Every structure is written in C-alpha cells, then in structure tokens.
Amino acid sequence: MARLLEVKGVTKTFGRLVAINNLSFYVEEGEALGLMGPNGSGKTTLFNTLIGDYLQDSGEIFFREKEISKYSTHERVKMGIARTYQIPRPFYEMTVAENIHVSTVPDKAIASLRRRGHTELEEKLAEDVGLKDHISHYPYELTMGDLRRLELAKALALNPKITLLDEIFAGLTVAEIGEISDLIGKKRDEGLDFIVVSHDLQALAPLVSRVVVINFGKLIDEGSYEEVVNNEEVKQVYFGY
C-alpha cells in the first residue's frame, strides 16, 4: 500500500532539549495510526512539526511521496493535512457555524471578498459531528465534548487526506469519550485516515490498525495495539511497571 505520510530521521530541538530525536515512521493510505507516549514525550511537537508550525532541525517529511519541509502550514493544509488541537482553539467570538465557515473560506483575495451566507456544508458537518442543535451557539456555551466535535468539524471541512487528532479524548466524560470514539470510527470507515494521540487506551485501541510509541522523542516500538502494550519497554515507560 502507498505511503501517505512518512517521517524520516526527524529531529527537533529547543535549545538543549531534544523534543524529537531522529524519529522515523510512516502512515499508509487507508490507515489509522495511534501515537502513544508519556507526557512530554514529543507527541504534540511532532504534530506541530508535521503541520509546519515548527521546522525540524534535520530529517525529512514526505506527504504522498513529496518532501514538504519547505512548505508553510497553510500550504500543507491545502495539500491535505489537517489537525485538531489538544486544547480546543475555537474562534470565541464566532458561532459554531461561523467557526466551521472559516475552514471553507477560499484562500484567494477576490473570491474571499464575496459575501456568503451559511452553506449546506456547514450544516452537514455540524450534523455529522453532532452539533446540529448548537449551530448558533458560541464556543463558551459548549461543553468540552462539543468543543472537540467542533475541532473535528473544522478539520473535516478542509476535506483532508489525513487528520492529526491531538488528545482528542482529553477532558471528556466517559459518555463523551464513547460518542467521540464512535464518531471517529464512523469517519474512519468512511475513508478518513488519521494519526490519533490519546492516553485513553480503551478508546484508542478499537480505532487504530497500528500504534507507534515514542519516549523522549525517540521511537521505542511500533506494531499492532496488542503487540506494543505487551512490549516490556512500553510497559515500563508508559504504564510504570
């Protein structure tokens, strides 16, 4: 199967702190990859590097066999990489519909000067992620679960080839975790490829076909969920026994 995204020997440092250390892994077309690691292991830094918020010190990142390091964040997003944030980042003065609408704004000067009302796409996306009843609400009126849904809707509006889901279950109730997990599972079945970071392994396990585990920015294991959770090193760094 063709490789959708490939990271080759990427290193990212902040001063003397090595956040990502010569890391290599890949995601194939049609694959859902889990990314595990203890707090501070470099998962979010890796996402920031993949999306272009950070430029790696060395190594290469390929998307559909094209080296993308020289491309800025918005160019990478247009290529087909989207992300959600660990701490949801909605536009707080905009309604849910308007938040989704920003994802659909054309990145062209003249086209963007035309006024558009809310489109059916926004309605459909809001309905898809379960925000239909909140479409006119502001982010500060939403629960954490709904904010996660909004993050997802904004990412899906970009029609991405791959989505980076950062701690998508963090701060959610058990019921919300189940709902968001079902939603992601449904999107995966519809053809969405993603890399998902989560500390909630029960939620992560059924979603992913393969897992990559990192610690101190280094790859320590990769394989099926069952394989990696039985790896002694993973047990030690992640479960503490």
Partner 1 sequence: MIKQRTLSRPMIGWLIFLGVMLVVGAVIPARWGRLCIMANYSAIFAISWDILCGATGYVSFGHPFIIGVAGYTTAILAKQIGMPLYATMPIGIAAGMGAGMLFFLPGLRLRGNYFCIVTLAAMIIIHQLVVAVRSDLTGGSRGLTAVPALFIGMTPNYYLSFILLFCIALGMWYVLRSDAGMTFNAIRMDEDTVSGLGLSTFRFKLIAFTLSALVGAVGGVFFTHYIASIAPGSIFGMTFMLSMILATLVGGLNTIIGPIIGAYFITFLLGILRPYIMGPPRFVAYALICFGLYIAKSRGIYGIVQDAVNWYRQKKG
Name which position in 15, 117, 191, 240 contacts partner 1 (CB under 8 A): 117
Name which position in 17, 55, 87, 105 contacts partner 1 (CB under 8 A): 105
Name which position in 77, 125, 197, 203 contacts partner 1 (CB under 8 A): 77
Name which position in 9, 30, 78, 173 contacts partner 1 (CB under 8 A): 78
> Which region among 7-15, 108-116, 184-192, 207-215 touches partner 1 (by CB under 8 A)?
108-116
Name which position in 115, 189, 190, 241 contacts partner 1 (CB under 8 A): 115
Token pair 């094209």: residue: 66
Binding mask 80-99 for partner 1 (x = CB under 8 A): --xx-x---x-xxxx--xx-
DSSP string, 219-239: EEEEE-HHHHHT-HHHIIIII
Asked if 118 touches partner 1 (CB under 8 A), the answer is: yes
What residues between 29 and 58 interact with partner 1 by CB under 8 A? 51, 53
Binding mask 171-190 for partner 1 (x = CB under 8 A): --------------------
Q: What is the number of alpha carbons within 13 Å of residue 152 lying toward its C-beta?
A: 31
Name which position in 1, 2, 113, 175 contacts partner 1 (CB under 8 A): 113
DSSP string, the chain: --EEEEEEEEEEEETTEEEEEEEEEEEETT-EEEEE--TTSSHHHHHHHHHTSS--SEEEEEETTEE-TTS-HHHHHHHTEEEE-SS----TTS-HHHHHHHHTS-SSHHHHTS-----HHHHHHHHHTT-GGGTT--GGGS-HHHHHHHHHHHHHTT--SEEEE-STTTT--HHHHHHHHHHHHHHHHTT-EEEEE-S-HHHHGGG-SEEEEEETTEEEEEE-HHHHHT-HHHIIIII--
Asked if 202 touches partner 1 (CB under 8 A), the answer is: no
Q: What dihedral do alpha carbons 195, 196, 202, 207 form, nearest 10°?
A: -40
Judged by CB under 8 A, how many residues of this single chain contact partner 1? 38
Binding mask 141-170 for partner 1 (x = CB under 8 A): -------------x---x------------
Name which position in 1, 2, 109, 175 contacts partner 1 (CB under 8 A): 109
Q: Give me the residues that bind partner 1 (CB under 8 A), please.
A: 51, 53, 72-74, 77-78, 82-83, 85, 89, 91-94, 97-98, 101-103, 105-107, 109, 111-118, 122-123, 135-136, 154, 158
